[in-house]
Amino acid sequence: MTPSTTRPGERLSTGPEATQRLAAALAGIAEAGDVLCLWGELGAGKTQFAKGFGRGLGVTTTINSPTFVLMTEHVGRLPLFHLDLYRLADAADAWAGGLLDERQGEGIVLIEWPDRLGEALPLPRLDVVIEATGEEERRIRIEAAGAGLDRYLEAAATADLAGTVARP
């Protein structure tokens, strides 16, 4: 098993609650037009992150990953567009299906399975890479790709992950 050490830009989460708390802290500094790509294997915790992020934005509707819906929109301090591209064949489909559109500039976009976009990966974007390092432990790496998103690194470094968050 990978040793549980962290490097700059990384946090260790000890359970779903901690992952949600980290995400909620990041939502606190989110600005219209921000795009976050959530990377990680099946069951890594991308949707848990999305749930916490939604809570941080004041979203009250349930955030999950419905089987055949590629994008869900939630109302919060800013509109939240939650995309799960697992079933997407390729990037051309994303554009054709209207999954990526100008309206998203007014809100926050969270993308699960961003690798499906291939060359069409948005820029700038914040990459959130979630890796399982134990049953309930996750190493979460935050990286800003492109300009203007470095403030997320600071927020991630100072986020308080202890305690519990009520799940929706």
Q: Which residues bind Mg ion (CB under 5 A)?
A: 46-47, 65, 112
Give burial (CB, 10 Å; 0-12/13-18/19+) of 79: middle
Give the residue closest to Mg ion by C-beta: 47
**138 near ligand ATP, judged by CB under 6 A:** yes
Binding site partner of 13, from Mg ion, ligand ATP, none, Cβ cut-off 5-8 A by kind: ligand ATP
Distance between CA atoms of 23 and 53, rounded to whole angstroms? 5
Between 15 and 79, name the residue whose CB sits nearer to ligand ATP: 15
Question: Site size for ligand ATP, by CB under 6 A?
Answer: 17
Stretch 13-72 residues interacting with ligand ATP (CB under 6 A):
13, 15-16, 18-19, 40, 42-48, 65
Distance between CA atoms of 2 and 99, rounded to whole angstroms? 36
125-132 β-sheet, strand order: 10-13, 138-145, 125-132, 35-39, 108-112, 80-84, 71-74
**11 near ligand ATP, judged by CB under 6 A:** no
Between 41 and 150, name the residue whose CB sits nearer to Mg ion: 41
Between 12 and 121, name the residue whose CB sits nearer to ligand ATP: 12
120: helix, coil or strand? helix
Between 138 and 147, name the residue whose CB sits nearer to Mg ion: 138
